[in-house]
Structure formats: C-alpha cells, structure tokens
Structure 1
Amino acid sequence: MAAVDGFPLLYAEIRRSCSGYYEGLALLGAACAARWGAALLRDCCGLLTVHFLPRMLPRTKLSHRFGAWAVVHGASEPVARAYAEELARNGVSLVLVAPDAAPLRDAAALLSQNYGVETVVVAADLSVGAAAGKAVRDAVRGRDVGFLVTSVEECGGAARRPLAEASEERLLELLSRNVAGAALLARLLLPGMAARGRGAVVYISLGGSCRPAPGGAALAAAASGFLERLAAALQLEYRRKGVFIQSLTPLQICSGRPPWRASWLVPRPDVYARHAVATLGVSNRTTGYWPHTLQLGLMRKVPEWAWLLGSLVFTGPS
C-alpha cells in the first residue's frame, strides 16, 4: 500500500514543482499560434487586396493613368501576346517588338480591327547589340509611351535541356535577348516616362524558378532571376518619379504546347492576362493570378531538401 500511495503523491509533487514550466510552454504555444494566425490573416488580406478588390472597384482608364502607348517586347510569346491584347482591350495602342515581325502582322491588324487602337510591328533582335534598339527608338518617337512589357522567351524544349547540352550560340542568344534586351529597352523608355511623371514597366518571368529543378538553368535561373532583381532595383530608383515597376512571376500557363491543358490552376494566356493587368499599380511583385499565388506560397513552405528529393523522384536522375 505504501508503494501504491507513494506514486500519486510523487506525481502530485512533480506536477506542482513543474507548474511554472507548463505555464511557460502554454504561453509559448499561444504566442506561436498568434504569430501563425497573424501571418495567415496578412496573407489573406494581401490576396484580397491584390487580386480581388482591383477587379471589383472602378479604376482610372489605363491609357489616362499610365500612357496611350505600350511597347511589348517578346510579343511572339503567348503570355506577352495575351497581355498586349488585354492592354488593347483597355484602349492602349501597341508597339509589338520581336526578332521576326512577320508572324505578328496579322495579329496586329486583328487587334486594330477589334479594339480600335493603333498597332506598330517592329522587327528588332535585341540579342545582336545596342544597334537593334534604333528601330524601337524610331517607332516610339513622338508617342506617349506609358507601358513597357518584357516577357522571358520560353524557347520551347531548349529551355528544358541541361545547360551543358545547349549550344554556345543558342545560349548566348537567349541570355542576350532576355537579359541585355530587357535592360536596353528600360534604358530607352524609362527617361521619357520619368519626364512625364507616369508609366509602368512590367517584367513577366517564370515563377517556377524560385525553386531549383533539373534543366532550364540558363533561362530560369539567369533570365527570370535577373528580371526580378532588375524590377526591384528600378522600383527603388523610379518610385518617386511616378513610374510603377512590376515583376510578374506566373507558374504554368496553358500556351497550347503539350502536355498542359487549360484548367483552374493552368489558365489560358488570355485568362492570365486579364487577372495580371488588374494588378497594375497595386503590387510590385506578384504572380498576377491568385491560384498561382496560393501555389507559390505553398512551394516556398517546402524545405529545399524535400523539393530536391521530389524533383529526383519525379524526374529521375539526369
């Protein structure tokens, strides 16, 4: 009986002596729960403010707020072309820039016919050097350019091959067009926007490059990362001059290339563009599409070692 009676007494004594630790752990748990709750509330408010309220509230016409003309670099890419069409739907005239202008002429004529805007097609391969910028400079002379839209060139399967398998010529062409070309156009157009005290510069990169993955090293890591950092630096330089700088980092978009099909998580380019244009003037860095914002938030919660392990399991060793 002494042993039986002794255990409850011993347990009661231990509990009494550790009561202060219990209270401390309870306070720590409450603080962690409050922190997580505040972060969740902040994220929900950000999602509502960036992606939903701008589409519900009346807004100033884009051509009045930023300018009457937009220069779209990489207009042959599906996302950039859809973004240009959404600007045209909002009454913004277009200067479409691509290395090969022939495929864009019919699209430009159709935009003019459907939305009553002016369109100019410029053949300029910005991978060849600063001289290619002369054609763009001539095209925008005397025009109220309020938008510069630059999209990373996906380049089909070339972007998905390991770096060592890409040809040196193709590698330099991609990096020059996506990196040097973006900086050159910003150098050409930003002074005019700053002088007028209004304008918007939009860089469309690849949100998936926030996590390492096999293949695509040159494009995803270099071009997308450069555009995001360039946007952040330009925002610091021009935020007090009336120029809005935005970095769009969408995830997968259905561009008509297999194996992706349009869905809620993989929108068509026109659906994505409609959501992305609504965030102009609201957020400097966003995916542009609220389901992608949720996806990207979850991706960033996954530890990098777990992400790398999953990449090896699903893609196999290189």
Structure 2
Amino acid sequence: MLSYLAKVIFLIGVYALYRYLSINLKPIYKLIRDIIKEKFLGHTLEGLTDRYGKWAVITGSTNGIGKLYAKELACNGFNVVLISKMESKLKILAADIEEEFKVQVRIIVADFSKGLETFKNIEQVLDTIPIGLFVNAFGVAVYDVGNMCSLTREELTVILNTNIEAVTELSRYFLQRMYCTNSKAAIVNISSCLEIYSTPFSALYDITKIYNRKLTLALQQESRRFKVHVQHVLPCLVPTKTIQICNAILKDSKLFTPDPEAFVHWAVSTIGRLDESTGQLWYADQFFRWLSQVL
C-alpha cells in the first residue's frame, strides 16, 4: 500500500514539475525562438505596430526609463503621447522625437500627485486617439527622504497618489478602452526589484511597488480573454539620471549593470512575449543575486 501511494505521489510531483516548467519556460522559449528566426534565419516577424496599432502612451516620459521607452517605441514606428508634469521638457523631447523618428507626438502635462482632476484632463485628450499600447513608467522614489517618520503628510500623499492611485486609475482607463475595441493591445507597468526586498529608508516606496506587482499580475489573468497583454517589468538598478544612486552602488560592477538604452531596447522587444521581465537578459543576474539574499 505504501509503495503504491509513493508512486502516486511521485507521479503527481512529476506532473506538477512539468506544469511549472511548461508555464514558466514556454514564454522564454518563444522569445529565444523569435530572436533566432529574426537574427539568424532572416525571418520577418510581426512588428509591435502590426500588433497594437500606431499609437502608444508613455507616462514619466521626460526622464529615465520612461524617456527611453518613448524613444524606442518611436523608433519602432509608434506615434507617441508623452505624459509628464514638466511641460518644458515635454516640448523639447517631443521636438527631438518628431525630428529624429518622423512620427506624430502629442504631449499632456499632468501632475499625478494632484489626484483625480489630473485624470479627467488626460482622458479628454486621449479619448479621440486610438491607443493600442500603454507604458506606465512614472513613479516617485524616496531615497533622499530618510526614514518613514521623516515624511510629512504631504509627501506621503504625493507618493501614494503617484505610485498607487495613478497606476490603478490609468490601468482601469486603458483596460476599459482596450476591452471595447476587441483588438490586440498591451499595457506595460514598470515596477522595481525593491518589490521583493525590504529596503531601509524606502519602506513606503517598496510597498507601492509590491502593490504594482500584485495589480499587474492579477490584471494579466483578467485581460487574457480580451486579447490584452499586461506585462510586469521589474528592473533592478539602471544607471539613469533619475536614480543617481545606481552609479555609486554599481560603479565597480559594469559587467552586470545594463546600459540604459540597451536595457530598454531589450525590454521593448519582450512586449507581448513575456508576462514578466527584468528588462534585459544580462540583467537577470542582478535580480537572481538580489533574490538569493532574500531567500
């Protein structure tokens, strides 16, 4: 009897392992397969604009990863809507993208810390534009603020409105639109590896990124039947001007520090292919070394 029971448990374990590997490795296999077909076999693959149409929206588009996403998507042929609170930077970036990539560019000045009024203005501008891809790259970091007790009520409100309310409300708005079109669409939520690591002096930021992850992974399951791909991107330390701390921490580890442009180029290539990504293949090393400390 025990021998029979052991065999049953063994078979259940084998099946569970098979299911786990097939679910988690299948997207990676497809990505590698597509890269081989395109780079080495000369096949022409379906482009992002073929899948998602001609218009993309990017928040946080005047700095860091958001700015690089805007340029990379324009390079892929998208007309782009740039959203940020810095009007002067938006106008400069819009002119640069129009000149370099010969695409249409719209700008929306929005301060997400202000709450619901901000979203009404965004929706009024976007309602007439056929958006097929939304990238949420905006967020407020708190590295220079200090411990939790040093935050004022106003600073708490800014962080929560920007990192939680904005990603929730914008995801709701774009999903509602995308569900109605009944065509392929995608949402990319940029998070952070801090969602899996408790970091002193940025506890509130960590919590907002945990929320981002939970929301994005849940929306993935809700949206599949509507042909909407929701992707979760969790970069670790990308040396951009937005996060100067990266340069200090990783100045002696350039091998495993992704070049920002290369990082975003790879990350964009995974849209519609991977549900969850660290952004770049080399970059996964950072993630797993970080994760090993947690476990």
TM-score by length of 2: 0.81
Distance 1:229 1:98 in 2: 25
Map of 1:78 onto structure 2: 64
Number of matched residues?
Answer: 269
TM-score by length of 1: 0.76
Distance 1:42 1:294 in 2: 22
Q: 1:206 to 1:255 in 2, by over 3 A?
A: same
Contact 1:86–1:273 (Cα < 8 Å) also in 2: yes
Give the greater-gyration-radius structure (CA).
Answer: 1
Mapped pair 1:147 → 2:149: no
Distance 1:226 1:124 in 2: 22
Contact 2:143–2:202 (Cα < 8 Å) also in 1: no
Distance 2:23 2:138 in 1: 28
Q: Which amino acid aligns with 1:231?
A: T
CA positional deviation for 1:48: 5.2
Map of 2:54 onto structure 1: 68
Q: Which amino acid aligns with 2:125?
A: A
Partner SS for 1:106: helix
Q: 1:183 to 1:298 in 2, by over 3 A?
A: same
CA positional deviation for 1:303: 5.2
Map of 2:41 onto structure 1: none
Instruction: Work out which of the residue numbers 282, 287, 290 in structure 1 matches 2:278.
Output: 287
Distance 2:190 2:228 in 1: 17
CA positional deviation for 1:60: 1.1
CA positional deviation for 1:100: 2.2
Deviation readout 1:264-283 (Å, 9 max, x if unpaired)? 32223211110101111111
CA positional deviation for 1:134: 2.0
Q: 1:77 to 1:53 in 2, by over 3 A?
A: farther
Deviation readout 1:285-307 (Å, 9 max, x if unpaired)? 12121122233234333455xxx
Distance 2:232 2:133 in 1: 13
Mapped pair 1:49 → 2:13: no
Deviates more, 1:287-296 or 1:171-180: 287-296
Distance 2:256 2:74 in 1: 25
CA positional deviation for 1:44: 11
Show the 5 A alignment for 1:1-318: 49=29, 52-56=32-36, 57=38, 58-155=44-141, 157-158=143-144, 161-196=146-181, 197-220=183-206, 222-256=207-241, 257=244, 258-259=247-248, 260-261=250-251, 263-302=254-293, 304=295
Q: 1:264 to 1:69 in 2, by over 3 A?
A: farther
Contact 2:27–2:274 (Cα < 8 Å) also in 1: no
Contact 1:152–1:206 (Cα < 8 Å) also in 2: no
Q: Which amino acid aligns with 1:175?
A: L
Partner SS for 1:95: strand
Contact 1:51–1:290 (Cα < 8 Å) also in 2: no
Deviates more, 1:233-242 or 1:56-65: 56-65
Contact 2:187–2:229 (Cα < 8 Å) also in 1: yes
Deviation readout 1:86-142 (Å, 9 max, x if unpaired)? 111000111111122221211111111111111111111122222211221122122
Q: Which amino acid aligns with 2:193?
A: G
**Aligned structure 1 segments of 4 or more residues deviating by more than 4 angstroms:** 41-48
Q: Flag structure 1 segments of 5+ consecutive residues without an equivalent.
A: 1-33, 305-318
